Structure 1
Amino acid sequence: MGYYILSQDKTFRNQVVIDKSRLPEELRQLGYPRRKNYSEWNNSISGDKCFNLVVKSNADNYYSDFIENPYLLISDELKKVFISYESNLSCNCTILSDRGNKIQKVYWFCALEMADCLGTDSEFYPDHSIKELILDRKRIGNRKIFQVAGIREKRFIASLDVVESILRRPFTGICVEKAAVRVN
């Protein structure tokens, strides 16, 4: 089975930008989930919590279906696809608010499972950022959507069937790149 890296398409102009200086205190204290604090982070945001994130006001803001900075936010329609493959996916309703233009959009704050599936053949630069990502098929197990643990960068991975479902729908702002997978 093939796996693909999902990322936000940076070619769109006027992409919505979260105002990091106005993040809710709870998110500011937690930072972004990393391997060491993932369970604590996931427990803190799970449940029925809703978030209101202020975006930088721009009349031409573009709201893509997949936003990865500073947190993974997905549109309502993309969440339906993700949930159909990962029924235990932790998502919290998040409102993106452009106060200047009086616009609010519903998104879902996602905490994907951190999978320790980094292949031994993966290569790193001297600063420990990833040079070549290679996934270990055995360690992936039967996960469909997950985040790679053990690297500095955020890498969101989806299986071929999930990617096919995404590509059959009119989603925008998502880049899909084939991931290298080794079977050991």
Structure 2
Amino acid sequence: MSERYFLIGTDESYEPLPLMIDMRKSIKEEYLEEGESYKQAGISLVNIRNSFDEHTKYPDIMDQGIFMLSDEAYRIFKLYEPATVIKRVLLMGESSDEAYEYIIPILKRIDCLSDRTTFRRGRYIDKGILIGKNIPDTALFKIPSVDGMSTVARLDFVESLLKRGMKGICLQALEIEY
């Protein structure tokens, strides 16, 4: 098992991102958990406001409330976790017939964030510390944090993404306590 982990999400400087205007109507976060995912539709439609102009950027990882992978990033993830249940999302423009597909992997929720973790502005993980004995042998998983759920990626998966030129990804190294 790799012993390096990262918080993974969308790079905030990778903009302008598409503005999702009705995600909560189409996708229920409580149904994106193991054992509950059968309640969420296999494919959901989410409207995007003014998103198909030449300046809008579609990152390979989007975590605007819900963690999603582009099709290309999902192909890499599938090499590491082929049995993961997924849901699909079509991002549709209001005034366009174009659509972008993203995949929502139904990730394990693991309580492995140490009490020694520090937060900035009371919400965001500043110095993340994971409890080593609680970390699962999986490439990607969720941890509960003050601001909801954060997604953690194992080093080998992160390296695979970066070697293949995935864009719009933000990484923050985590420490392990034993």
Give the structure-2-normalised TM-score. Answer: 0.84
Which residue of 2 is the match for residue 117 of structure 1? 112
The number of residue pairs the alignment matches comes to 174
1:84 aligns with 2:86: no
1:54 aligns with 2:47: yes
In structure 2, relative to structure 1, the CA distance for the partners of 1:86 and 1:70 (3 Å cut) is same
RMSD over aligned Cα, in angstroms? 2.6
Secondary structure of 1:82's counterpart equals helix
Structure with the higher strand share, 1 or 2: 2
Q: Choose 112-121 or 156-165, whichever is displaced more.
A: 112-121
Which residue of 2 is the match for residue 177 of structure 1? 172
Percent of residue pairs bearing the same amino acid type: 20
| 1:23 CA displacement | 3.0
Do 1:22 and 1:54's aligned partners in 2 also have CA atoms closer than 8 Å?
no
Do 1:130 and 1:153's aligned partners in 2 also have CA atoms closer than 8 Å?
no
TM superposition outliers: structure 1 runs of 4+ over 6 Å: none
Aligned equivalents of 2:97, 2:169: Cα separation in 1 = 26
Q: How does 1:1-184 map to 2 (within 5 A)?
A: 1-20=3-22, 23-24=25-26, 27=27, 30=28, 32-33=29-30, 38-39=33-34, 41-45=36-40, 49-58=42-51, 59=53, 60-123=55-118, 130-149=125-144, 151-183=146-178
Secondary structure of 1:165's counterpart equals helix
Residue 69 of structure 2 aligns with an amino acid whose one-letter code is I
Residue 22 of structure 2 aligns with an amino acid whose one-letter code is K
| 1:141 CA displacement | 2.9
| 1:150 CA displacement | 5.2
- Structure 2: runs of 5+ lacking an equivalent: none
| 1:152 CA displacement | 3.1
